[in-house]
Amino acid sequence: MLSQPEPACLVIADISGYTGFLAGAELDHAQDILADLMSTVVGAFRPTFKLAKLEGDAAFVYVRTPTIDPAQLQDTVERCYFAFRRRLRDVQQASTCECNACILVPNLDLKVVAHHGQIIRQRIASWEELVGSDVVLVHRLLKNRVAEATGLRAYAMYSEGCVAAMGLDDPASAGLRPHRETYEGVGEVTGWVRDLEAAWQAEIERARVVVDPKDAVRNYDVVFDAPQAIVWDWLTSPARRIQWQHGATGIAMVEGTAGRRGVGTVNHCIHGKDTIVEEVLDWRPVDYVTVRSQLPQPGVPKLVNSYVLTDLGDERTQVELRFARPKAAKDRAIAEQLLPGLDESISSGLAALKPLIEGAAAEARAAAAAAAPEPEVPAALGRNVREPILGGAL
């Protein structure tokens, strides 16, 4: 029996270069490497997205939602790509195998298409199948001329429907470039493209800015019964923060890239008549964020703090909020005077945050338990590491 149409964000992550990778390759090793990479890709989208289907060298994931947080979606896509690139590097470095599959690993790359539209979830025995014209369209978007038109091998393409659901009135100002495709029976479809290779290079070149525990004047520690991605969302989304941050009556971004949150973002955190100016110094979803804040009191030094998230397993996440000790003696003396008020504010905020995060995680678990099970992701057997084929052995 078919359910009613529901709005959803549909994403397909496709490993490019896989056909050439298979040509003449040692099949056991190629299958292991594909399983390893697909596990990495799918894991990067969870728990926000649910796996709909594995389609050879592609993963089709979705989340039911009428609107899309543009920063969250783009961060998730880029985090997936970064995890993919790191895993490519690790697979290559872990093996001494000289078969074609292992030698050609660096030739693999990833492209991602995202679309928003209507789906119908059709239950077949214990499995779930997504149907509808938008499901067809997101698959057709994989067959495109982006590489020929732009020269990009690794990219994310967001459909016009996806951009509309993200609320991006001017995608070009968000760093996206337009691209148009024409499909038989559909007509012209506009997409907006981001260069994932450029994002990766910026990621690896950017200096880490995170408060070390030994340099902290205060370290607040709390454990949430929730996955890391859910905790990150509640810590960093302005719409979420306003629900728990002590004394905050409004949070507005005044500088930064439209539709993104990250390095260079400047927020005004409004507390009644007072405003705290926050500048993001480093942003690494879902591991940590470092912020420099200017309090409204005259003469108070800027405070630097990091939220550091650690996955404890079993869907539990530890959060450390570390405030850096000012370097100048005068600033340290002023900061010491602020600590009692800071303790009260932070403790109150974290106490309000805990039930919100754990309630959201409980709702997600209940929804997952009631839904059809996800397809299994094949496990890599590590034969390229355990049973390497050396040159001349064939």
The answer to whether the beta carbons of residues 49 and 68 sit under 8 Å apart is: no
Q: Domain check: are 212 and 198 in the same one?
A: no
Q: Where residue 132 sits, what CATH number does that domain have?
A: 3.30.70.1230
Tokens of 229: 């991605």
Give the whole-angstrom CA distance, residue 72 versus residue 94. Answer: 32
Res. 393 pLDDT band, cuts 50 70 90: very low
Tokens of 334: 């002023």
Our CA angle for 318, 73, 377, nearest 5°, is 75
Q: Domain check: are 168 and 279 in the same one?
A: no
Give the whole-angstrom CA distance, residue 180 versus residue 348. Answer: 50
Is the pLDDT at 21 greater than 80? The verdict is no
The answer as to whether 386 is a domain residue is no
The answer to whether the beta carbons of residues 138 and 12 sit under 8 Å apart is: yes
Tokens of 95: 């093996």
Res. 390 pLDDT band, cuts 50 70 90: low
The answer as to whether 182 is a domain residue is yes
Q: Domain check: are 149 and 14 in the same one?
A: yes
Q: Is 100 in a helix, a strand, or coil?
A: helix
Q: What is the mean pLDDT of residues 312-325?
A: 97
pLDDT in the model for residue 23:
67
pLDDT in the model for residue 392:
43
Give the whole-angstrom CA distance, residue 57 versus residue 35. Answer: 9
pTM of the model: 0.92
Give the whole-angstrom CA distance, residue 364 versus residue 49. Answer: 11
Our CA angle for 268, 284, 106, nearest 5°, is 145
Our CA angle for 21, 23, 29, nearest 5°, is 60
Q: Domain check: are 220 and 360 in the same one?
A: yes
Q: What is the mean pLDDT of residues 302-314?
A: 97
Res. 24 pLDDT band, cuts 50 70 90: low
Is the pLDDT at 372 greater than 90? The verdict is no
The answer as to whether 392 is a domain residue is no
pLDDT in the model for residue 391:
55
pLDDT in the model for residue 25:
58
Domain end position, chosen among 149, 176, 203: 203
Task: Quick: pLDDT tens for 125-171.
Answer: 778 899 999 999 999 999 999 999 999 999 999 999 999 999 999 99
Q: Could you tell me what percentage of the chain is helix, strand and coil, using 3-state DSSP and rounding each to the nearest 5? A: 40, 30, 30
The answer to whether the beta carbons of residues 15 and 198 sit under 8 Å apart is: no
Q: Where residue 336 sits, what CATH number does that domain have?
A: 3.30.530.20
Is the pLDDT at 5 greater than 90? The verdict is yes
Residue-range definition of the domain harbouring residue 164: 6-203
The one-letter code for the residue type at 140 is: R
Mean pLDDT, the chain, rounded, equals 92
Q: Domain check: are 255 and 307 in the same one?
A: yes
Q: Domain check: are 120 and 218 in the same one?
A: no
Q: Domain check: are 354 and 248 in the same one?
A: yes
Q: Domain check: are 32 and 168 in the same one?
A: yes
Q: How many domains does the chain have?
A: 2
HSE of 340 in the Cβ direction (CA atoms, 13 Å)? 1
Peptide bond into 70 cis (omega under 30): no
pLDDT in the model for residue 147:
94
The answer as to whether 300 is a domain residue is yes
Give the whole-angstrom CA distance, residue 339 versus residue 300. Answer: 12
Is the pLDDT at 238 greater than 90? The verdict is yes
Domain end position, chosen among 203, 232, 247: 203
The answer as to whether 338 is a domain residue is yes
pLDDT in the model for residue 346:
96
Tokens of 138: 């997101």
Is the pLDDT at 335 greater than 70? The verdict is yes
pLDDT in the model for residue 155:
98
Is the pLDDT at 105 greater than 90? The verdict is no
Domain end position, chosen among 176, 203, 230: 203
Evaluate the CA torsion angle 264, 265, 269, 273 in order and state its sign. Answer: positive
Q: Domain check: are 192 and 247 in the same one?
A: no
Q: Domain check: are 279 and 232 in the same one?
A: yes
The answer as to whether 375 is a domain residue is no
b/e map 180-212, b = 16+ CB within 10 Å:
ebeeeeeeebebbbbbbeebbeeeeeeeebbbe
Task: Quick: pLDDT tens for 28-85.
Answer: 778 888 899 999 999 999 999 999 999 989 999 999 999 999 999 999 999 999 999 9
Name the residue with tokens 């994931």: 61
The answer to whether the beta carbons of residues 322 and 305 sit under 8 Å apart is: yes
Task: Quick: pLDDT tens for 239-253.
Answer: 999 999 999 999 999
The answer as to whether 124 is a domain residue is yes
Q: What is the mean pLDDT of residues 285-303?
A: 95
Is the pLDDT at 228 greater than 60? The verdict is yes
Q: Is 315 in a helix, a strand, or coil?
A: coil
Q: Is 107 in a helix, a strand, or coil?
A: helix
Is the pLDDT at 220 greater than 90? The verdict is yes
Find all residues with CB under 8 Å of 119, minimum gap 6, and list them: 5, 6, 7, 8, 10, 62, 64, 130, 131, 132, 134, 135
Q: Domain check: are 220 and 199 in the same one?
A: no
Res. 1 pLDDT band, cuts 50 70 90: very low
Share of the chain above pLDDT 70, in %: 97
Distance of CA 330 to the CA centre of its chain: 40
The answer as to whether 353 is a domain residue is yes
Q: Domain check: are 92 and 78 in the same one?
A: yes
Sheet bearing 288-294, strands edge to edge: 216-224, 316-324, 303-313, 288-294, 274-284, 266-271, 250-255
